[in-house]
Structure 1
Amino acid sequence: MKQGTILIADDNRNILTTVKMLLENVFQNIVAIASPANIPTRLREDRPDVVLLDMNFHSGINNGNEGLYWLREIKKARPATEVVLFTAYADIELAVTGIKEGAADFIVKPFDNEKLTETLSKAYEKTKKGSGTADAGGRESTMFWGSSAVMENLRLMVEKVSATDANILITGENGTGKEVLANEIHRLSNRSARQMMPIDMGAITETLFESELFGHVKGAFTDAKADKPGKFELAEGSTLFLDEIGNLGYALQAKLLTALQRRSIVRVGGSTQIPIDVRLVCATNCDLQLMVKEGRFREDLLYRINTIHLHLPPLRERKGDVAALARIFLGRYANMYNKPEMNFSAEAEEKINSLPWYGNIRELQHAVEKAVILSSGSVIDANDIDGQDAQKAKPMDEVQTLDEMEQRLIEKTIHDCDGNLSQVAFKLGITRQTLYNKIKRYGL
């Protein structure tokens, strides 16, 4: 059923004609203009729900400033109208800037007909919904944003980019909640009707990588007793979350890049190209730019996964949020362990706010759970809070085993490196995969 009004602004009349034909069965009213000077008049008279806006109008000028200027003018005149940017591949970075300034999405020329129609239809639905952040799957948010300025800025960015299909890279220290943020992005996306597919890249061995991600056919190897789809196929139409992307070996990075570039995969032992439609979200606590300089991460893969970069700040930079988050955990664990109506004393809250929490949210959560379990009353005192200052390594003369010595050394190095596991592995003289396995082994 045709509904809504779209305004198409592009100086290429052949493109105007082609796009109008494509959208005749989608939109009730289609307004096409070749000059951006007519945009204000068309906004007043036609009141479009969606604008498809070219980034460059004058021959020889390709810096995208015209598109960004008219994007701002459209959003000032009609804030509820969604704008989709029309851009050449070389100007994707400008389109990302446009998204930060309020655009709903962008389409790269030369465009795919189905992708263009789908993107513009989604933009129209977003206009009709108002905020465009409803979760089609009906799931509630598990993200705690808090009230700190740094998290408010992040929240606004997430709301802008979630409804697009742009690939997102989430960075942050261990325990900051990168997977929780990935879930929130998926919840707010147009793909939320299907479950997000998470993959821990640090836990996949090199020999199983292709089978896990791309699947295999029967007989591809000894234990391949039946055809098996990989994670890319299972995430079709949804979000694929690649956690610990920095732990992916260099040789395997090329295989992932090929799948992303071709938008298709081939199962191990097979020969058929299988198209994939996934939204990619990656996360890491590594400095990928540094890894690129050191030759440990492919620069072309970084560009592919880093269309939008979101950084989760450590808990010590969210001072106003720490006590509030601790109270959430207190309520959760008080109910879990049948200890209702528990509270923190003023001294306990003061201690919670003063600790650095180098393990971030994960460390705070464990500390509150431990305090609930061990507390004999309804009030948790400062002495019940076992934070970072109470987790200092034992003196070496108190260490009993080699395992305990290794655990203490890893703990200290993680602390000294502020949670940067690449630096930790370098200082300890081991690979990141070995470090990752030891962290899991010792529960760090």
Structure 2
Amino acid sequence: MEQIRDAIMSGDRSAETYAAMPIPESYRATTVHKDEVGMFEGLKSRDKDPRKSLHLDEVPVPELAPGEALVAVMASAINYNTVWTSIFEPVSTFGFLERYGRTSEFAKRHDLPYHVVGSDLAGVVLRTGPGVTKWQPGTEVVAHCLSVELEDADGHNDTMMDPQQRIWGFETNFGGLAELAIVKANQLMPKPAHLSWEEAASPGLVNSTAYRQLISKNGAGMKLGDRVLIWGASGGLGSYATQMALAGGATPICVVSSPEKADICRRMGAELIIDRSAEGYRFWNDDNTAQNPKEWQRLGKKIRELTGGHDVDIVFEHPGRETFGASVYVTRKGGTITTCASTSGYMHEYDNRYLWMNLKRIISSHFANYREAWEANDLINRGIIHPTLSKTYGLDEVGQAALDVHHNTHQGKVGVLTLAPGKGLGISDPEKRSRFEDAINRFADA
């Protein structure tokens, strides 16, 4: 592994160098263990500690299948799906691996007693399997997390509709929180040259997810002038949605949970901000069995105060149960609630009168298709959207990094150095970077 790291650090990107380099028999990887699935039984979600379930193991390098690439991972990042995996909610991910393993001979590799997690990476291609023509060893890449087989017609108009659509590192094995990773070659995208390894790794999942959910015709189809309510506007998803709203000529109304997070939104250029902690909204009663419509009304009044009397055209939803009733209520007549997650609970409740009688729409959105992921990555490459990396951990600290995300103590994205020996490495176009330096560093150490 040292030889691989040294070659990458030397700047040599010739295909011959990497093709001739021996691949180690094993590598360090962040895993959960199948025999520990029940370790948190009886605990509330918040009390389940990823530091106890996420392990740093030495695991064997799997065989490379046709159409795949083996990547030396320089950096990765934490997403909420790693939190879900680590606390075994809503289900254990080993069920995903078992079902995938039954589909083909090569898929059997994924059904193991351990799961290598992580759905982001930035690194260098080491090997490609039979049939790969676009990528060669030595190429700097990032990866999106959409894994599909594309054997069914359903996936050919929108790859998210493929019956065998999976999220790499969550519903498949050999994820990115490791020194090596295996991806389908069509997951690879060019690494933006003006970013460090950890900066380039951090946008992948959330940037693509926000792009489909907010911008794409498959999501809300945001247009110039729209007013967009963004829950968790300084977080992993929300920080990208906020940037996209601003870049697309919309007006974000940023909902955050502290003055510090409000300040981050202002640094991104947002002006309309609701601090939930200061306002004290309580959308559910104390026993969490019924919602309080008066609090929905109070939120709606606050929005209209900020917007000069207007309701929002789009609500960018991802907290789920805690906020969904309020989201449906505050959306304007004919407006759109688009949802991609349920970090506060999956069983949503809302008053359907405010939906059907006001012709509102709820649109589900999950990650992004191939084209959307490429378009989202191109926004990063062009400096229209910037990484929102706030803190970077080492590979041996993934448990703590996941706990930060689990308890929402972070801003933006939390990065992880894997093979990279330190922060700030991997920038190959410093001149381009100089044009965006302030925007890139907005979240640094926040």
Same fold (TM over 0.5): no
Which one has the largest radius of gyration?
1
Which band: TM-score by shorter chain? under 0.3
Give TM-score, length-normalised by structure 1: 0.25
Give TM-score, length-normalised by structure 2: 0.24
Query: Which structure has greater helix proportion?
Result: 1
